[in-house]
Homo-oligomer: A and B are copies of this chain.
Amino acid sequence: MTDFAFNLLKEDGHARLGEVHTAHGVIHTPAFMPVGTAATVKAMTTESVAATGAEILLGNTYHLMLRPGAERVGRLGGLHKFMRWDKPILTDSGGFQVMSLAKLRTLSEEGVKFQSHLDGSTHLLTPERSMQIQHLLDADITMSFDECTPFPATPQQAESSMKLSMRWAKRSRDAFVERPGYGLFGIVQGGIYPELRAESVAALREIGFDGYAIGGLAVGEGQDEMFRVLDVTTPLLPKERPRYLMGVGKPGDLVGAVLRGVDMFDCVMPTRSGRTGQGFTRRGPVNIRNARHQDDPRPLDEACQCPACTGYSRAYLHHLFRAEEVLGLMLLTWHNLHYYQDVMRGMRAAIGTGTFTAFAEQFAADQALGDIEPL
């Protein structure tokens, strides 16, 4: 079995073209990971997800530990087999969602004690238990257990939170069971404070990880602030390891972050927006529920090769959403995931030919055009 490895193939400014090798295959970076919270990318079969070009999924430790349960998934052969996805899987640590979703959370040096939002049962999530759960799930990429520092946070709050995450990172590293093709990522915290980000990077590099995630962003600070943090953080990260910006983002966020040296992303935006009627296109977002689409025979995005755009009219998609038909969610989710992968494909091609700056400018210009004129 292959070792877990990152091959940096090419740089174009700060943008990077690479490959992450894992036990379940190769991920071409920059990569976008669709979110499969509860062992399913919502409203998609895994065959359809793969058809969009996705090479890795994200699973949520918090959700899966509560239902169906990590030990159960382990007994059933792991998450790949359970959900029928034979490509790589990254699982988060549970740290973010236990703080945002669970009830009666108590944070201590040991970890987080909480009550399930599903049935009120009491659980303790620690770095060691998070590593164990992610092992049971058979995640190719395991994330260190951390506290996602809220925004806004004072420098003192951000420092204290970051230092706790660094102690948990060390405990995660110690508890992680090394296996060929499986990797552990550390998570940089520090809020919007450059010196704290630098201290966090140094602490993580001292421990040593297979990849480095940038956490605590896309939590309300805005795109400008997020890009400023990236500008001071990614240059400190080791070139020879993949970099993952957690929970990001809109298409323009992805392009801006790749421009700043990020390799990997995850976000619920394409799937969640797809379920509410928002489609992402080359000319910006479109609300398919708008009455202007009800007689429009044109596809959502005529440059898109997804099944929703090659097979159906805006009028039909509009009808499905108005009639609250499941197929509407299915098709628009499919489109959005396909479009996100198109953006990634476009970025990888542009980095490969050393034209990423021009790509980013054209991308922004196209997005600014706005939707096609009504007929």
Tell me the count of chain A residues lying within 8 A, CB to CB, of chain B: 36
Q: Which of B45, B72, B83 contacts A295 (CB 8 A)?
A: B72
Chain B residues near A120 (CB-CB < 8 A): none
Of A34-42, A199-207, A244-252, A352-360, the one with at least 4 CB within 8 A of chain B:
A34-42
How many whole Å from A371's CB to the nearest CB in chain B? 20
Q: Does A50 contact B (CB under 8 A)?
A: no
Contact with B along A73-101 (1 / 0, CB 8 A): 00111000011100000000000000000
The copy count of this chain in the complex is 2
How many whole Å from A310's CB to the nearest CB in chain B? 10
Whether B322 lies near A67 (C-beta < 8 A) is: yes
In the complex where A43-B327, A330-B330 touch, is A315 in contact with B38 (Cβ < 8 A)?
no
How many whole Å from A86's CB to the nearest CB in chain B? 11
Whether A76 lies near B297 (C-beta < 8 A) is: yes
Chain B residues near A151 (CB-CB < 8 A): none
How many whole Å from A224's CB to the nearest CB in chain B? 36
How many whole Å from A372's CB to the nearest CB in chain B? 17
Whether B72 lies near A40 (C-beta < 8 A) is: no
Q: Does A349 contact B (CB under 8 A)?
A: no
Q: Does A325 contact B (CB under 8 A)?
A: yes
Top 7 nearest A-B pairs by Cβ distance? A43-B326, A40-B327, A68-B319, A38-B323, A84-B311, A40-B325, A76-B315
